[in-house]
Homo-oligomer: A and B are copies of this chain.
Amino acid sequence: MEQKEISRAVIKRLPRYYRYLGELMKEGVERISSNELSERMKVTASQIRQDLNNFGGFGQQGYGYNVSYLYNEISKILGIDKQHNIIIIGAGNLGQAIANYTNFERRGFMIKGMFDINPRLVGMTVRGIEVYPIEKLEQFIKENDVQIAALTIPKSKAKEMAEKVISYGVKGIWNFAHIDLDLPEDVVVENVHLSESLMRLSYKVTHMDHSIKEIPR
């Protein structure tokens, strides 16, 4: 595994490379030049070369990139060559929507269980994934080697719940609550702030006529 420094911007783009490479593999494409990949992904070829150079020597002059090799290397870098066990806290619509995504499992994210404080939801199953009461949280996390907790709960409860699951051994929080969780440094958080995404869309719709003036970066 590479230990060199990789910028956040590159990491942010890696899943997209992974997706395109997966599609190429499905199409039976074995190798691709940075120019061809550039055309598909609407990213400059030099950006692609620069990005992929971070992982050392995948491309070869006059040959291009070996698609399945690159796909596998990126999957190792992203850590999705290994299984991650996930729980979902909050079994409302959003939690259920996540439980329903079969895509996650194909990438090694196994949703082991859902949790809710609402007794009416406890015992329900979504695609075979059961909803447990919050009281079972500690035992479940420890017995199932849970690494990641998705928080699909109101923001008023999010910080307390994040701290709780971390104390039980969870390493990463997938946070859907509209709040910045202020957590210990050895815990990682990935935020999905839907309201903010919608506001950015609103900005773009509002300023559409001037969108050409936007400085891309």
Contact = CB atoms under 8 A, between A and B. Distances in A.
Among A82, A98, A108, A172, find the residue whose CB has the most chain B CB atoms closer than 10 A: A172
Interface string A6-36: 1111011011101100000000000000000
Contacts of A123: none
Interface stretch (A62-70, A134-142, A156-164, A191-199): A191-199
Contact of A93 (B100, B172, B208): B100
Contacts of A124: none
A167 interface: no
Interface range, A side: 35 or more
Nearest to A75: B199
Contacts of A108: 202
A29 to B, nearest CB: 17
Contact of A201 (B98, B148, B182): B148
Contacts of A41: 180
A201 B190 contact: yes
A184 to B, nearest CB: 11
14 contacts: A3-B213, A5-B213, A6-B214, A19-B178, A79-B202, A80-B202, A92-B97, A109-B202, A148-B202, A171-B208, A174-B198, A188-B205, A190-B200, A190-B204
